[in-house]
Structure 1
Amino acid sequence: MQEKMQRAFLAILTLSLGTVGAAPGHVCTYYDVIKHLNVSSLDKLNAHVLPKRNWKEPLEVKTDFMLIAILSVAEKLQTATFYFMLNLEWTNTLVNWNPQDFCNISKVVLPLDTYWSPPLFILEEVSEQKSNKLEYLVVTHDGGFNAALPLQVTITCSLKILRFPFDTQTCNVSVASFLYPVTDLIMKLKRTSAEMKEISQTYFLTDGEWKFTNLSVIEYEEGMDDTRFSVITYMISMERQSILYVLNLILPTCALYLLDMAVLFGPSSLEEKVNFQIAIILGSSMLAVILNNILPTSSNKPPVIGTCLY
């Protein structure tokens, strides 16, 4: 009799543990959470209004940056194209649910336009942003929002070519939200610049002409009069891989000039020297044309190699 009572008690305990946070026989789904949040309604104010309970306190948005690829650098146009991941985190105190009421579901994935998200601008951008349409966000039960945005952006960058092809360049990617002043929205860094540099170097994909060397970040406020806006600038430093220019440009140029000196002081006849000098001039002109197609059309400080070649 006592053994039967123990078995019955264990059965009741097992059933009770299996149904914690849900009604008996009910199978929870993500649709239950979405219905509770009422995001399927036609009212889209939750997607356009800044989610603050106290209008006097600014909303804090944490940002994270990871450089994935340097796609191109156009010296003539003074532009650079980067592919990077921008991660945003913020809290919406108006969105919450109790996970125990939904079989311990603590987070859902929704389209980016379901709720309000920070409207960000890249100050140096000169072309339309491109992404792989991964426009979704993760919503947790306590109102935490996380959005990872992969972006391909072409920005304007002041390229200094004095030491071409042994030059290093630094381009800025400034992220700001000019719709909300600092009294409404503040942007903060989630990681330090050293941590973001380490992560970027780990996931950096391209191995072309440009090598990613450093990433620095500064936070500041910008604006006029009493209206200030929060801005975060990511400074991407890169170094040109010069081996191809050495093999295809510098070495042939040096060989031509050395050969020119050898013929000039050699025992050849005057006619042969003149013919060879003409060939040297034609070869130098061809190298000058090639170099002219590479370098920017205008620069206050032209590259040393171009000055020497001309």
Structure 2
Amino acid sequence: MSKLTGLLLIIGVIGLSSGLPASTKQVKATLFARNIDPTELPTGSNGTGKSPVHVVLNVQVKTLLAADSKSRSLKLQMLVKMRWTDRRLVYTPFPPDTSPDNVTLDSSALEKFWVPMIYYVNGLEKETDKANQFIRVFVKTGEVEYSSLVTITTSCPMNLRYFPHDTQTCLVQLSSYGNSVSDMVFEWNKKSAASVLPNVALPDYSLQDYTTRNCDAVTNTGVYSCLQLELKLKREGGFYCMHVYIPCTMLILVSWLSYFLHPTKSATARLIVVIAALALAVVGISNFNLQAPRTGYTKSIDVWTGISLTFILIALVEFVAVNYMNQYPCPRSKYCKKQPPPSDGVDNAEQQTPLNPNGEGKSPQQCKMFEDSEDGNTCGAKLDVIFRISIPGLFLVFAILYWILFV
């Protein structure tokens, strides 16, 4: 015992024996003078030394700092509060009882008194703010309350099959370090196990819910007490809607313009439209994939981008097919047989009226649609008409199924 500590202890005892109120400094000096071994566990919750020390915890999430889908991690700041009983810190003053009910100690007391050691099971990085650590001792009962502000990065395994419409559950696991359940037990505070400050969110995520439970670990050396905080995070899809879904849809609509251009007179314009849409889609999707999390399986956004490229590629394939089909006239209807021109030079409509096998005639206007002309009445033009209706309808069906299955 140092001379200064002994002097403060004597002064405190003299002051109490004389009936003067015990100051906070005197109580602190008395507690520090007891030379408590910080490595020795308290006597237990019932004072017999046979039961384990019960440490009651509650946590408060101050802020969410980052959630990284690439590294599968969550970084947050939270306040950890622990409460236990250490009868070695009970202070019994001389009558009259004028001593304070509790005293607050700074972080230097961590080296003097026993404090539970917490091990973050899934923690990757941990930083404790020493300026925001304190111990409060309720001197009449021996209860100790310890608070610490911790910034921690935890691993958060993510299932990204529904990315970017996914919901992830990240865990913060607090376990006893070195003391099995026979020596120390962690318990959640029954009144308030966990809390979250209002408006806690991330740019990419919103906090949907949080729950607490036990996660005791069984090892070869014994059972170790563990508490688990589960944070349910839902990804916000606004960014991906503006930078992936809408641009892909717009490029698909641009590629569909080729279906409405003249198959022969605007062949060059059709090719430019389709090639430009395809090139922009490939570049944009490639740049996005460089920033997206890598997985060994297909994500929902991969389905959208892949099908989008397919629809644009269909427009290119259709252009090639139309260009090839325009080189050959469409087969003439079997009911339309072109009659030779009249010999007398008189336009006789009856001679140009085709006959079907039943002998029923068709007008020249009905047969004209089967004739090859420079206005686009070719098989390629008819293919354009088919694609104008079928491809948008097929894309609409795909979009509906996509939002039902993945969103």
What is the TM-score of this pair, normalised by structure 1? 0.82
Task: Report if aligned partners of 1:46, 1:115 keep a CA contact under 8 Å in 2.
Answer: yes
Cα distance in 2 for partners of 1:146, 1:57 equals: 20
Deviation at 1:27, TM superposition (A): 5.8
- Structure 1 position 211, deviation (Å): 0.8
Post-superposition offset of 1:68: 2.1
1:19-56 CA-partner distances (Å, limit 9, x unpaired): xx8846x464211101221x157x4x532211115342
Structure 1 or 2: larger strand share? 1
CA contact (8 A) 2:57 2:189 kept: yes
- Alpha-carbon displacement from aligned partner over 1:226-276 (angstroms, at most 9, x marks no partner): 611111111111111212221222111111112212334434722122222
Whole-angstrom CA distance in 1 between matches of 2:180 and 2:56: 16
Q: What residue number does 2:4 align with? A: none
Q: State the number of aligned residues.
A: 281
Counterpart-to-counterpart distance in 2, 1:273 and 1:30 = 88
The reply on whether 1:219 has 2:220 as its aligned counterpart is no
Contact 1:291 1:306 in 2 (8 A): no
CA distance in 2, matches of 1:154, 1:115: 28
Map 1:154-303 to 2 at 5 A: 154-191=153-190, 196=193, 199-200=195-196, 202-206=197-201, 208-225=203-220, 227-267=222-262, 269-297=266-294, 299-303=295-299
Amino acid at match of 1:91: T
Output aligned runs, 1:121-132, within 5 Å: 121-131=119-129
Q: In the alignment, what sits opposite 2:386?
A: none
More helix, by proportion: 2
- Contact between 2:105 and 2:135, CA under 8 Å: does it hold in 1? yes
In the alignment, the residues of structure 2 paired with residue 301 and residue 65 of structure 1 have an alpha-carbon distance, to the nearest angstrom, of 36
Distance in 2 (alpha carbons) for counterparts of 1:48 and 1:83: 28
- Rounded to whole Å, the distance in 2 between the matches of 1:98 and 1:204 is 45
Moved more, 58-67 or 272-281: 272-281
The structure that has the greater radius of gyration is 2
Q: Deviations over 1:121-140 (max 9, x none)?
A: 11111123343631211111
1:251-302 per-residue CA deviation (whole Å, 9 max, x = no partner) reads 11111112212334434722122222222122212321332133222x2433
Tell me, what secondary structure is at the counterpart of 2:42?
coil
Q: Deviations over 1:141-192 (max 9, x none)?
A: 1111111222111111111111122111001111101310100001111036
Unaligned runs of 5+ in 1: 1-20
Q: Is the 8 A contact 1:260 1:280 kept in 2?
A: yes
Equivalent AA in structure 1 for residue 230 of structure 2: M
CA distance in 1, matches of 2:250, 2:193: 44
Give the corresponding residue for 2:325: none
Counting aligned pairs with the same residue, the percent is 16
- The aligned residue for residue 16 of structure 1 is none
Please tell me the root mean square deviation across aligned C-alpha atoms, in Å.
Answer: 2.4
Alpha carbons of structure 1 residues 168 and 22: separation in structure 2 relative to 1, 3 Å:
farther
Q: Contact 2:103 / 2:137 at 8 angstroms: preserved in 1?
A: yes
Letter in 1 for 2:122: E
User: What is the TM-score with the length of structure 2 in the denominator?
Assistant: 0.63
Structure of greater relative contact order (alpha carbons < 8 Å, 6+ residues apart):
1
Deviation at 1:102, TM superposition (A): 6.7
Question: Which blocks of at least 5 consecutive residues in structure 2 are unaligned?
Answer: 1-15, 307-407
Provide the C-alpha distance between the structure 1 equivalents of 2:275 and 2:130, rounded to a whole number of angstroms.
Answer: 55
